[in-house]
Amino acid sequence: MPPRIQLIALDLDGTLLCEDGSVSARNVQAIQTAVAQNIQVILATGKTRASAIAVLRQLGLQAPGVFTQGLVIHNADGSVRHETVLDRETAVRAITFALQHQLPHLAYCTARIVAPYDHAYGRLLQEKYHEPLPEVIGPFLDQIDDLHINKFLISDEAHNDATRARLTDLMGNQATVTQAVPGYIEILPPGASKGRGVRRLLADMGVSPAAMLAIGDGENDLEMLQMAGVGVAMGNARTAVKAIADYVTADNNHSGVAEAIERFALS
């Protein structure tokens, strides 16, 4: 049996959030009950902290969190605790690839999301994933020395898998290529991951991974679930995530997070 749960790490899209972006009343109640029992609750998401402000307020959470795929760790007050960025050469290589193949692209730069021009994938980030609307700043290469890019996104839905494979070959060991949601191939600093960000925050907080309940649904949640004392996959999770989970809960539209918290964390 794992030790008593001291901390709960929650993914957002496909996990805590319903398909319409809301948080169910049962999920809210379970999280607030956990906090009342002195269990720390953190968010661990591929998105920016700005996208989670309304959720943090709804839940009443005053806690640090792991954002931007583990590349930016924020304190409870929103200040940056840790940050990792792509090196200049890798960023230039990624941007050049997108330009050569005429693919829409975006960059996450700490609290900002920027785009070279307005495009549908930038607007979709706001409409579907509740991110800030990307700032249109013009060609990235013209201002590369002023951009501090945490992660770079390329969209190629028509040839997603082939483009992702090409990017993986192109980046080699200079970057990590992953995908959290459909439509966005992500290029991260080498070795970076949501799981690594969670591990770093746990160390700062003095919490053992064995005392963590982690809940997620996507490829980017695998490492987090594997390190946790209890790793829970959502009912809507990818097959690979369910395969490594200790438990599969209900889906995100049926309060799967609350089910897991009630089962594994609450007294």
pLDDT tens per residue across span 144-203: 999 999 999 999 999 999 999 999 999 999 999 998 888 999 999 998 999 999 999 999
Residue of 250, 226, 248, 252 whose CA lies nearest to 239: 248
The stretches of 7-153 forming alpha helices (DSSP H) are 25-36, 53-59, 88-100, 120-129
In a domain? residue 238 = yes
Q: What is the mean pLDDT of the chain?
A: 96
**Contact, 237 vs 216, CB < 8 A?**
yes
Query: For residue 1, what pLDDT is reported?
Result: 56
Are 52 and 175 in a shared domain? no
CATH code for position 103: 3.30.1240.10
Which residues are 109's β-sheet partners? 112
**Contact, 167 vs 186, CB < 8 A?**
no
Are 230 and 153 in a shared domain? no
Q: Last residue of some domain: 188, 207, 228?
A: 188
Residue 93, domain extent: 88-188
d(CA 37, CA 127): 35
Q: Last residue of some domain: 160, 188, 216?
A: 188
User: How many alpha carbons lie under 13 Å from residue 167 in its C-beta half-sphere?
Assistant: 32
Are 65 and 107 in a shared domain? no
Provide, rounded to the nearest whole percent, the portion of the chain with pLDDT above 90: 94
Residue of 199, 263, 219 whose CA lies nearest to 14: 219
Are 166 and 233 in a shared domain? no
Residue of 11, 23, 3 whose CA lies nearest to 234: 11
Query: For residue 173, what pLDDT is reported?
Result: 95
Whole-model pTM: value is: 0.89
Give residue-wise pLDDT tens across range 188-230: 999 899 999 999 999 999 999 999 999 999 989 999 999 999 9
Evaluate if residue 3 carries a pLDDT over 80.
no
Are 216 and 182 in a shared domain? no
Structure tokens at 103: 């693919």
In a domain? residue 1 = no
Are 114 and 177 in a shared domain? yes
- Number of folded domains that form the chain: 2
Give residue-wise pLDDT tens across range 58-94: 999 999 999 999 999 999 999 999 999 999 999 999 9
Are 73 and 118 in a shared domain? no
Task: Please state the length of the chain.
Answer: 267
Give residue-wise pLDDT tens across range 90-135: 999 999 999 999 999 999 999 899 999 999 999 999 998 889 999 9
